[in-house]
Amino acid sequence: MVNQSTIPLFPLGIVLFPGGKHDLQIFERRYIDMVTECMRNQTIFGICALQTGPEMRESGTKQTIHRIGTGAQIVDWNQLDNGLLSITVEGTAKFQVEKCWEADNDLLMGLVNFHDRDRFDTELVPGVEKYSRLIEVLRGLEAHPVIKEKNFDIDYADLWHLGWRLGELLPMSNVNRQKLLEIDDPVRRADAIDMMIAELAGEK
11-15, 70-74, 121-125, 147-151: the lowest-pLDDT one: 147-151
Measured CA to CA, the distance from residue 16 to residue 87 in angstroms comes to 14
Distances in whole angstroms, Cα of residue 200 to Cα of each of 87, 131, 171, 172, 203: 34, 16, 11, 11, 8
Other residues' Cβ atoms within 10 Å of the Cβ of residue 121: 8
pLDDT of res. 83: 83
The distance of Cα 60 from the centroid of its chain, to the nearest Å, equals 28
Q: Give the tens place of pLDDT for each residue, 21-52.
A: 999 999 999 999 999 999 999 999 999 999 99
> What torsion do the CA atoms of 80, 146, 168, 52 make, to the nearest 10 degrees?
40
pLDDT of res. 76: 96
Q: Would you place residue 2 in the very low, low, confident or very high pLDDT band (cuts 50, 70, 90)? A: low
pLDDT for 1 beyond 60:
no
Give the 3-state secondary structure of 115-140.
EEEEECCCCCCCCHHHHHHHHHHHHH
Structural domains of the chain, ranges and CATH numbers in brackets: 3-116 (2.30.130.40), 128-200 (1.20.58)
* CA nearest to 14, candidates 81, 77, 101, 91: 91
Q: 173 pairs with which residues across the strands?
A: none
Tell me if 135 sits within 8 A of 104, measured CB to CB: no
pLDDT of res. 59: 62
Measured CA to CA, the distance from residue 51 to residue 63 in angstroms comes to 7
More confident residue, 63 or 186: 186
pLDDT for 162 beyond 90:
yes
pTM of the model: 0.93
pLDDT for 56 beyond 80:
no
Other residues' Cβ atoms within 10 Å of the Cβ of residue 103: 11
| H/E element, 142 | helix 132-142
Q: Give the tens place of pLDDT for each residue, 85-129.
A: 999 999 999 999 999 999 998 999 999 999 988 998 888 899 899
4-18, 31-45, 140-154: the lowest-pLDDT one: 140-154
pLDDT of res. 107: 94
| H/E element, 112 | strand 108-119
Percent of the chain with pLDDT over 90: 77
59-68, 136-145, 181-190: the lowest-pLDDT one: 59-68
**Parallel, antiparallel or unpaired: strands 21-26 and 85-102:** antiparallel
The residue type found at 137 is: V
